[in-house]
Amino acid sequence: MINVLFVCLGNICRSPMAEAVFRDLMEKENLREKISVDSAATSSWHIGSPPHRGTLKILKEYNISSEGLVGRQLTKVDFNEFDYIVGMDESNIQNIYEITGQPNHPKILRLLDLTEHKKDVPDPYYTGNFQETYQLVSEGCRALLEKILGENKIKKTGT
């Protein structure tokens, strides 16, 4: 089983959105038996909280399940549990390095570095633009899935 962890600052906007979008992609490709996904925060502000109402609204708009999404904080143990740890912005990446004690490890990557954008996913908690975040997260998740499939020689089966 390949384990993927999405990480943002509070685990209520970007990383739970990415978790839900990625989970939806895996469902459509019949990959739930091969890849697991979770999300976490670098801060402790929203432990146990549901996603932000803007995240829930955009997921509902695109008919993507938000079931089981609950805020939690990244721990040092997560480094050993996950094969891919994906931050939403450069600040997240630096915090992931600090929390895990694994600076510049190749399993830690910034989501949009896998796309042509090569930038941070803006935090809609501050920008209010959940649509832009959704579009970037969706593109990044598709690119991440392709990377994982290629690196692990997993074939898509589709439904």
pLDDT, tens digit, 9 for 90 and up, residues 14-51: 999 999 999 999 999 999 999 999 999 999 999 999 99
Q: How many domains does the chain contain in total?
A: 1
Domain of 88, in residue numbers: 2-151
d(CA 43, CA 141): 23
- Does the residue 116 lie in any domain? yes
Residue 133's domain is classified under what CATH number? 3.40.50.2300
- CA distances, 49 to each of 53, 60, 73 (Å): 11, 18, 11
- Does the residue 158 lie in any domain? no
pLDDT, position 68: 95
pLDDT, position 156: 74
- Does the residue 157 lie in any domain? no
- Does the residue 156 lie in any domain? no
pTM assigned to the model: 0.96
Residues known to be catalytic: 8, 14, 123
Beta strands 35-41 and 84-87 are unpaired
